[in-house]
Structure 1
């Protein structure tokens, strides 16, 4: 029998793959440390909701509806990968495809236990590296 993990956002058990372990650790971080409410998080966000030509999915998207932002302007977009599955440059290529569809305020990349955070500079439309994410309620 395959091992599973409970996903508190999707409210169901999911296969316990190496990438899913990273995703679930990231969800716990967002809920417990960043204080994102469950209802603001979407797991496996279908990019086709914004661009019907896309069949890709972002691992985690935190909406920004409280600030009146549309679905294509989330507060945070997260990509999660299992350790040893991707390199940072490969993950950047995937992220760049997603950034043609979504314009998040923050980006988080979780590659195994290593994490990188970025904030959108609205003037230059570029992402700058930051040390951490702010608490959801304070940003």
Structure 2
């Protein structure tokens, strides 16, 4: 897989029936290794190991119902009160980050009301803080470190 614009992480990868699988420590099972999963695992590791967000408050592929349709957030981090703090939308490395990507995560946030939104393809990362009063997001240079 392609090197990402994230710190290296030691991931458990194995081959089964000519397909590569990666062990997901959050879901505690092997997951088919797709480019998006590669980004998801690296970014989750970055948030936990470098930004100090607790793994215990981190969920991957959290299902939500939006307009009677099942959707999934790539990474969802809760605060200590159990409410969503950060939503991360991961794309494969070759997927360009567009306004549609921001619209997608903003739709998820209509339901979740997280304070921070992150969009990444592993090479480019965009960090936003919600301004609920003005119904917009404000771009940040980086996501803040975990502060309980």
Same fold, TM-score > 0.5, yes or no: yes
**Contact kept in structure 1, 2:59 and 2:77, CA below 8 Å:** yes
**Contact kept in structure 2, 1:84 and 1:112, CA below 8 Å:** no
User: Equivalent of 2:62, from 41, 45, 50?
Assistant: 45
Pairing of 1:120-135 with structure 2 (within 5 A): 120-135=130-145
Provide the residue aligned with 2:86 in structure 1.
76
Provide the residue aligned with 2:33 in structure 1.
16
Structure with more of its chain in helix, by fraction: 1
Structure with more of its chain in strand, by fraction: 2
**Which 4+ runs in 1 deviate beyond 3 A?**
none
Secondary structure (helix, strand or coil) at the match of 2:70 reads coil
TM-score (norm 2): 0.80
Call closer, same or farther: CA 1:4–1:69 in 2, change over 3 Å: closer
Aligned length: 131
User: Equivalent of 2:98, from 88, 92, 98?
Assistant: 88
User: Equivalent of 1:57, from 72, 92, 99?
Assistant: 72
Deviation at 1:43, TM superposition (A): 0.5
Q: Distance in 2 between matches of 1:80 and 1:6?
A: 18
TM-score (norm 1): 0.85
Deviation at 1:11, TM superposition (A): 1.4
Provide the residue aligned with 1:28 in structure 2.
45
Deviation at 1:134, TM superposition (A): 1.2
| Superposed CA offset, 1:50-91 (max 9, x none) | x58230011110012x1x354xxx110000000223442221
Provide the residue aligned with 2:13 in structure 1.
none
Q: Distance in 2 between matches of 1:35 and 1:54?
A: 33
User: Equivalent of 2:129, from 105, 112, 119?
Assistant: 119
Provide the residue aligned with 1:102 in structure 2.
112
**Contact kept in structure 1, 2:87 and 2:105, CA below 8 Å:** no
